[in-house]
Amino acid sequence: MERNEFIKSLGLGIALVCTGSCLAGCGKKGDDPSPSTPGGGGVPAGTTASVDLGTQLLTVGASIVVSGILFIRTATGNATTSFAATQAVCPHQGGSLSFIQASNFIQCSLHASRYTTTGSILAQPNDGGTTSALRTYPLTLTGTTLSATA
């Protein structure tokens, strides 16, 4: 083999090695936007959060976040069935969740995933990733104190 041919073949070999390394490091589409904590974003078990219905959640569609729990008034009357309680942090990548009263869904501020008030997924994140259903929490009512416990 001539010196020039050897150098050419050496250069081609290095180029192939570099290309292989770069492709392996890039991964496939959708790797990065996957949930960093699938099913995460919920509050620790045993956490209890409360609202005072004498001054909070007075109208249908009103919502408030207390201790990582999103409370939503879904109907009139002060019964536990008039409210929903879900995690307030998105299971996809930790965006904050808000109830959009006009559309009657919960939406993430980071990638716009959408959920029902019972936690079901209505729309996946707009970054190509996937999310999981929201955790919901059972409610109790004592006087005007509405509590949700994880």
Q: Which is nearer to ligand FES, 131 or 147 (CB)?
A: 131
Q: Choose which of 125, 132, 136, 150 interacts with ligand FES (CB under 6 A).
A: 125
Q: What is the dihedral of CA 117, 118, 122, 127, to 10 degrees?
A: 80
Give the DSSP letter of residue 3: H
Residue range at the interface with ligand FES (CB under 6 A); choices 18-26, 57-65, 104-112, 135-143: 104-112
Q: Choose which of 42, 84, 95, 115 interacts with ligand FES (CB under 6 A).
A: 95
Closest contact distance (angstroms) between CB of 19 and ligand FES is 32
Q: Choose which of 92, 132, 146, 147 interacts with ligand FES (CB under 6 A).
A: 92
Q: Which is nearer to ligand FES, 65 or 110 (CB)?
A: 110
Backbone CA torsion sign across 118, 97, 57, 49: positive
Q: Which amino acid is at 137?
A: Y
Q: Assess contact for 40 and 59: CB atoms under 8 A.
A: no
Q: Helix, strand or coil for residue 97?
A: strand
